[in-house]
Structure 1
Amino acid sequence: MCCYSSLGFSQISTVTGTVRDSLEQTALYNVTIMVSGTRTAARTDLHGKFSIIASPGSELIFTHAGYREKRVLVGNSSTIDVSMANAKKELDEVVVVAYAKQKKATVTGAIASVSTKEIKQSPAANLAVSLAGRLPGLTTLQTSGEPGRDVTALFIRGRATINSTNPIVLIDGVERDLTYIDPNEVESVTILKDASSTALFGVRGANGVILVTTKRGASEIPEMNFSYEAAAQNFPYFIKTVNAYDYASLRNLALSNDNLPQQFSQKTLDVYKTGADPVNYPNTDWRKVILKDFSMQQRYNLNISGSTSNRAMRYFVNATYLNQGGQFRVEKDLPYDPSFRLKRYSFRSNIDLKLNRRLDVYLNVGGYLEKQNMPMGILNRVGDITATLASMSPAVYITSFMSRVPANVPVLTPSGDVTTGPNVDWPAYGLLNRSGYIQQTRSNVLATFGMRQDLGNITEGLSAEAIMSFDTKSTNNLYGGREFVRYMQALTPSLGNPSGPDSVYFTQYGGWLNTPLTIGGSTDFSSLSNFQARLNYSRAFNKHNVTGLVFYQQQQNIQGVQLPFNLRGVSGRVTYGYDNRFFAEFNAGYNGSEQFAKGKRFGFFPAVSGGWLISNESFMKNQNIITHLKIRGSYGKVGNDQLGGRRFLYLDDIHIQGGGYSTSLGLGQQIAINMLKNANISWEIARKADIGFELGLAPGIDLVVDIYKERRDNILRNRSTIPALNGFDLSVLPPVNIGVIENKGYEVELGYRKAVSRKLTVFGKLNFNYAKNKQIAADEPLLSPNYAYRYRSTGYSLGQNFGYIVDRYFTDQSDIDRSPVQSVGGHAARPGDFKYVDLNKDGIIDERDKAPIGYTAVPEYTYGLAFGASQKQWDISVLFQGVANVGRLLNGAGIWAGAGYTNYSDWHNYSWTPERAAKGEVIRYPRLTTQVSPDEQTNNFFYVNSSYVRLRNIEIGYTFTRTLVNKIGVNKVRVYLNGQNLYTWDKLPFKGIDPEQLTSYTYPIQRIFNAGVNVTF
């Protein structure tokens, strides 16, 4: 803050105050304050405060770039607080686009952004999880909550291909992994959605692009931030199974329905009900045995940013430590640690140097070191750990003990061995504790060096930039594996005394034996090198504004011993603006991919867009309601070379296998064909159209609406219409570019922000997206006329399920006899089974009666609602996120109760029985059985609508007054509480499973309660 004076009058005084943004109510730095008619001036400091010498009656003039000038008369008060209004904020706000930045008002493509402030309101360990519900057009689908493997699938504007739908992720302009980025490093996340914004990526731009911009130094005053967070995590959803008495009762009912002898006597049922003999009649709650009530997560972060006084060097340095525990209990006295645990150390350093008036260089270095611990049993069996918790009978001990085995039992069970239930080969307790451990160490180092040269000496507005980056990633696995013996528990009636207590004994289950720990390991390594060269042009003259970009990139990705993945291409952009009212843009990419044969690797992908900023027209000047009004549109072509992980399909895929005769390859060897080549294979082509409407109103309301349509051609599919009679082995035929899918929808984003008073600001933001696809061409044969639905793909959405339509339950055998023949899967119907609808009216229930049921696994509707307020030192923010028109199949342990399923949950207490049906009581499940039944088919009873609304985040914060914290030598202290996945409303008929996850055979998504403190120095 500085001040100088040339006042010539006597009645002068010092005027102090604070300058804030009128909308955000944030302090404004470097505002210039002048006394009108004099040379007396001052500037605000980092906290918006100023001090200036002025006399009563004089006029103070406040000016700041991007804000309307403010004039205030000095009265008798020595304190003046000022709010400055943003002058056409949309014209000055800069947003990130592909390989550049643009003024928001001039953007003619479809993009959306979220700031670091919003991202950090989520305590999630994965940045992708933090994006849920915050960006219009982005659908997130978290498939696991496992520490270090909390994978989240991302879809931009739905799904338009049967192959990979992954968007490209660029971090500071280089393709990198989103999962491991620390939210404290991030400045903003932007998604590019239409052809205009992604055309520069050409052959790889069809699925959209996610741009992550990390923080950089700015202020001349160094700033240090330290934060600490401690969180408690648990599972909001987990299948809750019945107690031992209900289990035994339901088991007897299932056996009775199958006309089989009951397993549990009335005496046994009575003991289970009273709990009088827990030694011989255990009632084990496997959830309490295996799961913790809570696990802990801690996060420490320290970052420093600033610049030298002449801004010749700017810097941002960040370091974070994350420690996340797992929800599963493990034994304490094992010679190894099988617990779930994640420790991640991440760092970043962004340095910008201005070497001279025309040359800037920068160096970005970042990465992480991650150590993950888990039980060996999770290797390809994480689903079994969660599934067997629902499979294990409560009438089974945790482990067996010799003291509980009668002396007259011939097979004595060693103390401490694992017990299991019927048909449970992999009991959860054994998978967690007795299978060994995995220690996985992952490291990643990212380095980018760039140079910017101002070529204004050649022609005004011309500059060049070169970027070189190199990333290395390694994964080291240390395995300690072993096998463990399993035992089954049974009861023997008391000899000679039928009313006496039963005795428990154990017999070995299967052929597994305890084995010593076997140590092994593996190492994976990958690297990515990227080179970019850019030529930029930006010039404004009179009413014209022209920018241009020519961009060259080549990239090589080496993954282990595989052949390198290579990319190369040239892209360009030209924009034109006239009088800040009319805008036009042309983008194009000429890119190549090694996925295709020589001579067919490169393609040209153009896109055009335009916009009209109506609010800058002269006829809009004399009104103060509409602050921003723009219409825009785009059309273009982009590609997709991600072909489901398959490479070099233009070459024959052959291998050497064993044979029964001598060849030149050696005795017993022959060449076999896995797949014939397709020399004409090409990329998918996405033709995209978008129309957008933007509106800003003076009360602080912003509205953005987009309508879009995409036609995806050349989709790689396997042939289905070639008859087997032609003599070809159809299994070796290559896929061809014959698929066509149409995807269309709309997006709405509505925002509101208003400073109700100097002390109270409120805000709200709603985003809503609808995307629905349809398969136009799928090379699908038309089924015979006796099929109720003659196509299973063509004309339907990707992933559309077909199944049987449930009419009602069969009441008795005569009802079955009067109905169409129903032996689905070769199993005859019984009373209490589903009666399926005979859609084709042929008197038989079979494949021909299947109909489209439910929605697909990718929702058609996604939405988010964020709102909050700040008053004085307090602030609160809330985020609801939801999806609609999405489906999933209910199946697996604890849900189905037939052959192979050995436990029950509460909804099986409401299964069909003749008595319940006769009384008209609630029936939630067909008859129980121990055998395979026609009920366990894909049908509209088990395939359900999994739409939900989730209270995704809440954060409440308190910022201590500056007067208080300055006494301890700091500038700002904020404490806060936040939570994630706090509550969910859904339509599932079965409780205990998360509607977001597609299966119950995975690590559940976690609920997080978090407390933190942030200190700024």
Structure 2
Amino acid sequence: MEKLLSKGLLGIFVFFTGLGFAQTKSISGTITDSMGAPLPGTSVIVKGSTQGTSTDFDGNYEIEASPNDILVFSYVGFATQEIPVGTQTTMNVTLVEDAAALDEVVILGYGTQKKTNVTSAVTSVDSEELNQSSVANVSNALVGRLPGLFAAQRSGQPGSDASDLLIRGIGTTGNAAPLIIVDGVQRAFNQIDPNTIENITILKDASAAAVYGVRGANGVILITTKRGAKGKPTINYTTEITSTMPIETPQYLGSYDYAVLFNEAKRNEGKAELYTEEDLEKFRTGSDPITHPNTDWYADGLKSSAMQYQHNLSISGGSDRVTYFASGGVLTQDGLVEHVDFKRYNFRSNVDFQVTDNLKVSLDLGGRQEIRNSPSNSIGSYFNGLNRNAPTTTAYYPNGLPGLGFAGNNPIEQAKSGGYTEDTNNIFFGNIGFEYQIPKIDGLMLKGYMAVDRNFRFIKSVSNPYTLYEYNPANGEYIPTEFGQSRISETYRQGAPSSNSGTPDPTTTYNMTLNYDRLFGEKHQVTGLIGAEKAVHKSNYFTASRLDLTSQNLPQLDFGDAASAQNGGLAYNSSRLGYLARVTYAYDTKYLLEASFRYDASENFAKENRWGFFPSFSAGWRLTKEKFLSNIPNLDEFKIRGSWGRLGNDRISQFQFLDAFDFNGNYIIGGSPIAVIRPGVIPNTDVTWETATISNIGFDLEMFDHRLALEFDYFTKRTEDILEAPTRIVPDFVGASLPRENFGIVDNKGVEFVLSYRDHIGGFNYWAKANYTISKNEIVEIGEPESVPENLKRTGRAIGSQFGLVAEGLFQSQAKIDNHADQSGFGAIAPGDIKYKDVSGPDGTPDGIIDDNDRDFIGVTGRVPDAIFGLAFGFDYKGFDFSTQIQGAHDFNVYLAQEAAFPFFNGGKVLEQHLDRWTPQNTDAAYPRLLTEDTNNRVQSSFWMQDADYIRLKNVEVGYNFPSPVLDKLKLSQLRLYLSGLNLFTLSDIENFDPEAPSGRGSFYPQTQSYTLGLSIGF
């Protein structure tokens, strides 16, 4: 077996490496511009490899290459040239100004298009820009880089970054996630190793996304992975070591300050103080840590740092008939919490075979294994326990025994001894495709592929009983109490993984398109596309559990109590079928027209409502091709464009058009239990998809030899037929609830722009890029009852609008309380309590009483800001390179609640900021007077609505590329050393947690910052 394996590996190595080796020789020359001036810093690369060099101050270069190689010469602002080596040993090259970055190609749905001919709203980022961030997940590399794309990492938990991706804000109260397409196939965003990505393109308007029909209403993210190119094999190895640490954790008071403030709160309530002077002194001095501890639960329960290691090995190359790219990677992430870690193993192979001059076949294979480990108690409950336990409670006694915490809640010990959850996800995928150039018909090509995705996920959770101790000062003994229960559960899922869309991706996809691209009479460019696509999803789910394991060392179902066994499972299938078409026309690359449509069917709807038609139209006008603009100095490109179209969104719960039934326990008939089935939700046979009508107007501007570029877009979007819950009431005798119906309407509109500049001074190359997006939504129809007062209606307001009492500061005296509207309905009011505005009474006018009638609009919360921005800049000089990324958001609020806002909440602790509380000596305080049991100050109100605007230094990277003489001595084609930092600095008014956190409570795994040292080697 070992011999067979060795022979197989040797064969694979020979296959990949034997496709291009040839005798190399030294090539030298000088690079100049059209005026004969040398161009220092010009890039000279062997095509299809990472072997390269750059010219010196006199424009001279020297490089090793074989006669079969092609050298690629590129310089900012000049057209790239590719020249075969052949028999030459001296190659002097004259570069001309790039009057056309015009031939740059943009990736679109089911094809590509010249950038100059694009009439829709599209933006992209390539691998070079992505590599400026050393990240383990793609979403972190995209933050702040692309106009219109909101990307945020909600958690620093290894393997569970909980990323949000949205295009141009939120335009629906339903599922607003974009469609993710990887190499033409719908797949999960988090499956992609950043090292394998060649390009990411965002389709933002209806014209660009129309070919995706019922899936395209929220925009589309296209990911293209790397492929091989003709040339000798190149091997690249990258290794990174990263240290991560929490960005910000809540700053709580120690035991002494906590006890002092607790006594103050009791005095404010007219009750006896809990802590004596002797207690306070022991807390202050720490003289009795057993009975008077000073526990920093975050310090004990959260590591100061954790390590991450990442390795990637790739090989690419090819011949006239076969090109290939293969990559493998390993990622290990340690967590900041005990028993939290993540491992990822992934591989990908993309191979293209030129079978005949007309037929090309591609075979893409890949796989990924993810192993997530975590405590049996959820991460949310873990951090909830850290936030809630007061410093006067014990995590661990000086002798190492675990304490009770608050009411038996010791999350640290539970994580250590209470069991674990191991989540193993095995993902496999394969694409086989072809491109056939139809003979005798210029420009006509038939393309097709079949893609298969399989996901096998196994989740094993073991809960163990654990012991906590309480110290008895009377006899000095530690009294043990057992918590938890012995339990094992196993869950098995099979199908395709779920992507950001919130719905399962297809397990099998079939696609066929007929493409046409031809130029008639030198001025009439026509392209066309027609095709069909079918996607099928199948999934199975099974779960089982037992109690009372025989031994914690035998964590298997067989060793649990058979009498306690429980199990369950389900299986479901779904499919889509669509027909698509697109046609474009360009006259003299001046007047541009495009039309496309998709005719889609989705099994989420009844047969009579299953099909939908989604058209789009767009046009563009390149004014710089007109005589009246052609001679304006420094104006290289000016194009205006506009688009209109309709798209769909079928991401809803399945089978809403069918009768639903629920199991409702058992009923005893004749002494025997009989399962009871009752009606669940009344079916909605007319349920259909959301429909989004999108308009876009924009322009593209390039100046100063294409060094300065500006793109601007104004967009509007109306989403109709959103599923909403009806307000009608069903009589009790019906025994079922009403279904959701398609009557919701939301408007969304905004602007976005991206401004970039790129230039050089001698060999010093520099660039800068800024983008800004603002999008605001408004609910037009949501089916609110007419009885809802105008000031409490969601209609006419943004999604996420919050309502509560309007705070008017703090009461400063009893006289102020006596002269204010009666607020006693929320408890005994005293100076230092929050004062609320008398907005309305039952008849709509102020009535002198503060109650629920006084609720009003207090702001908009949600995890998505109205405005986002990004700024990136960098340079390279003599092998050194530097890049940085700044991003931020404004018009963004978070509502603080529970542990993040209220002192002593549920017996919890006090944040340092609450030292600035109201007292007779501190009347200008930021926070109300202290109370342990409070109703008035904890009512939902504008007082706790926090401005969450922020600006963040997202990424900085410094690197050095070793020069050719060093590489030649080491027999390498590339050697780069780099240092990068992620989430380095944040400016925000929010205290104690990150502005991108998932909620205003603080009970979540903290965001992390990281520092990475990396090495990249090319052979």
Structure 1 length-normalised TM: 0.86
Per the alignment, residue 508 of structure 2 pairs with 529
Give the partner amino acid of 1:243.
G
* Partner Cα separation in structure 1 for residue 906 and residue 94 of structure 2: 70
Q: Using the alignment, how far apart are the partners of 2:484 and 2:813 within structure 1?
A: 50
Select 1:972's aligned residue among 971, 974, 989. 974
Cα offset, 1:116, TM superposition: 1.4
Q: Distance in 1 between matches of 2:898 and 2:905?
A: 11
Q: Give 2:530's aligned residue.
A: 550
Q: Report how far residue 68 of structure 1 moved.
A: 5.7
Aligned amino acid, residue 43 of structure 2: A
What residue identity is the alignment partner of 2:391?
P
Residue 142 of structure 1 and its aligned partner are, at CA, apart by 2.2
Contact 1:252 1:262 in 2 (8 A): yes
Aligned to 1:9: none
| 1:733 and 2:738 correspond | yes
Moved more, 573-582 or 666-675: 666-675
Distance 1:654 1:520, change over 3 A: closer
Provide the residue aligned with 1:839 in structure 2. Answer: 839
8 A contact 1:237–1:994 mirrored in 2: no
The change in CA–CA distance for 1:351 and 1:769 in structure 2 (over 3 A counts) is: same
Question: Does 2:29 match 1:27?
Answer: no
Structure 2 CA distance for aligned equivalents of residues 937 and 489 of structure 1: 38
Distance (whole Å) between structure 2 residues aligned to residue 617 and residue 681 of structure 1: 50
Q: Which has the larger radius of gyration?
A: 1
C-alpha deviation, 1:351, in angstroms: 0.3
Name which of structure 1's ranges 267-276 and 295-304 shifts more when overlaid on structure 2: 267-276
2:384 paired residue number: 387
Counterpart contact for 2:53–2:61, Cα < 8 Å: no
1:416 paired with 2:401, answer yes
Corresponding position of 1:682:
688
- 3-state secondary structure, aligned to 1:319: strand
Amino acid at match of 2:758: R
Match of residue 796 from structure 1: 797
* Whole-angstrom distance in 1 between the partners of 2:934 and 2:172: 36
Residue 873 (structure 2) pairs with residue 867 (structure 1): yes
- Structure 2 residue aligned with 1:411: none
- RMSD of aligned Cα (Å): 3.0
Structure 2: how far apart are the matches of 1:892 and 1:745? Answer: 34
1:264 equivalent in alignment to 2:275 = yes
1:63 to partner: Cα distance? 9.8
1:426-468 Cα distance to aligned partner (Å, 9 max, x none): 32213311210112211111100001111032x2111101100
- Of 654, 675, 680 in structure 1, the residue corresponding to residue 661 of structure 2 is 654
1:888 aligns with 2:891: no
Q: What's 2:185 paired with?
A: 174
Q: Which residue of 2 aligns with 1:454?
A: 437
Counterpart residue number, 2:708: 701
Q: How far 1:83 moved relative to its partner? A: 6.6
Deviation at 1:374, TM superposition (A): 1.3
Instruction: Tell me, in whole angstroms, the C-alpha distance in 2 between the residues paired with 1:158 and 1:347.
Output: 34
Alpha-carbon distance, 1:684 to partner: 0.8
Matches of 1:755 and 1:975, distance apart in 2: 23
SS of the aligned residue for 1:562 comes to strand
Structure 1 position 282, deviation (Å): 2.1
Match of 1:475 among 457, 466, 489: 457
88-97 or 20-29, larger mean C-alpha shift: 20-29
Counterpart amino acid of 1:966? Answer: D
d(CA) in 2 for partners of 1:434 and 1:711?
53
- Asked whether the equivalents of residues 31 and 92 of structure 2 are also in contact (C-alpha less than 8 Å), the reply is yes
Task: Give 1:38's aligned residue.
Answer: none
Q: Pick from 463, 467, 471 the counterpart of residue 445 of structure 2.
A: 463
Provide the residue aligned with 2:820 in structure 1.
819
1:490–1:505: 8 Å Cα contact kept in structure 2?
yes
> How far apart are the structure 2 equivalents of 1:24 and 1:928?
68
Query: 1:739 and 1:992 mapped to 2: Cα distance?
Result: 35
Q: Which amino acid aligns with 2:855?
A: K
Shift of 1:873: 1.2
The superposition leaves residues 16-52 of structure 1 with CA deviations (integer Å, 9 ceiling, x where unpaired) of 2357999995524589xxxxxxxxxxxx995478999
Once the two structures are TM-superposed, the CA of residue 480 in structure 1 deviates from its matched residue by 2.0
Q: What's 1:716 paired with?
A: 723
Residue 328 of structure 2 is aligned to residue 319 of structure 1: yes
- Measure how far apart 1:888 and its partner are: 1.0
* Counterpart AA for 1:552: A
Please state how far the C-alpha of 1:855 moved relative to its aligned partner.
2.8
Residues 383 and 26 (structure 1), Cα distance of their counterparts in 2 relative to 1, 3 Å cut: farther
Task: Structure 1: state its 5+ residue gaps.
Answer: 2-13, 32-43, 53-61, 71-77, 331-338, 404-414, 493-502
1:780 equivalent among 774, 779, 784: 784
1:222-621 pair list within 5 angstroms: 222-308=233-319, 311-328=320-337, 330=338, 339-378=339-378, 382-400=379-397, 416-422=401-407, 425-457=408-440, 459-487=441-469, 513=483, 517-527=486-496, 528-542=507-521, 543-560=523-540, 561-621=570-630
Judging changes above 3 Å, is the alpha-carbon distance between structure 1 residues 433 and 765 closer, same or farther for their aligned structure 2 residues? same
| Other structure's SS at 1:991 match | coil
Which of 95, 106, 131 is residue 117 of structure 2 equivalent to? 106
Match of 2:952 in 1: 950
| 3-state SS of 1:893 partner | helix
Distance 2:41 2:1003 in 1: 48
Instruction: Measure, in 2, the Cα distance between the counterparts of 1:505 and 1:805.
Output: 53
Superimposed CA distance per residue, residues 957-1005 of structure 1 (whole angstroms, 9 cap, x where no aligned partner): 11111111210110221111111111100122x3344444324121111
Aligned AA for 2:696?
A: D
* Match of residue 767 from structure 1: 771
Aligned-partner residue type, residue 513 of structure 1: F
Cα displacement string for residues 1-27 of structure 1 (whole angstroms, at most 9, x for unaligned residues): 9xxxxxxxxxxxx97235799999552
| Structure 2 residue 130 is matched with structure 1 residue 119 | yes
Matching residue of 2:144? 133
Q: What's 2:65 paired with? A: none
Structure 1 residue 658 displacement after superposition: 4.5
Task: Give yes or no for contact 2:597–2:616 (8 Å, CA) kept in 1.
Answer: yes
Structure 2 SS opposite 1:795: coil
How much does 1:211 deviate? 0.2
Match of 2:926 in 1: 924
Q: Which residue of 2 aligns with 1:752?
A: 757
For residue 491 of structure 2, give the secondary structure of its aligned residue in structure 1.
strand
TM-score normalised per structure 2? 0.86
Q: 1:983 to 1:360 in 2, by over 3 A?
A: same
Q: Which amino acid aligns with 1:735?
A: R
- The answer for the alignment partner of 2:7 in structure 1 is none
How many angstroms does 1:522 deviate by?
2.1
Letter in 2 for 1:237: E
- Assess if the C-alpha contact under 8 Å between 1:740 and 1:775 holds in 2: yes
Decide whether aligned partners of structure 1 residues 274 and 636 sit closer, same or farther in structure 2, where only a CA change above 3 A counts: same
Offset, 1:279: 4.0
Check the 8 A contact 2:375/2:420 in 1, yes or no: yes
Residue 99 (structure 2) aligned to one of 70, 75, 88: 88
- For 1:248 and 1:95, the matched residues in 2 are separated by 64
Residues in 2 aligned to 1:1007 and 1:569: alpha-carbon distance in whole angstroms: 44
Corresponding position of 1:936: 938
Partner amino acid, structure 2, of 1:815: K
Please tell me the residue identity of whatever aligns with 2:388.
Answer: S
Change in Cα spacing, 1:256 to 1:589, as seen in structure 2 (3 Å) is: same
How far apart, CA to CA, are the structure 2 residues paired with 1:30 and 1:908? 63
Query: What code does the residue aligned with 1:474 have?
Result: F
Does the CA contact (< 8 Å) of 1:180 and 1:368 recur in 2?
A: yes
Aligned length: 923
- How far does residue 793 in structure 1 lie from its aligned partner after superposition? 1.0
CA distance in structure 1 between the partners assigned to 2:46 and 2:275 by the alignment? 82
> What do the CA deviations read for 1:63-112 (whole angstroms, capped 9, x no partner)?
99996699xxxxxxx99986724533332101100010111111111011
The one-letter amino acid paired with 1:138 is L
SS at match of 1:566: strand
The separation in 1 between residues aligned to 2:267 and 2:476, in whole angstroms, is: 24
Cα distance between partner residues in 2 of 1:621 and 1:435: 74
CA contact (8 A) 1:68 1:86 kept: yes
Aligned residue for 2:563?
none
Whichever residue aligns with residue 495 of structure 2, its letter is S
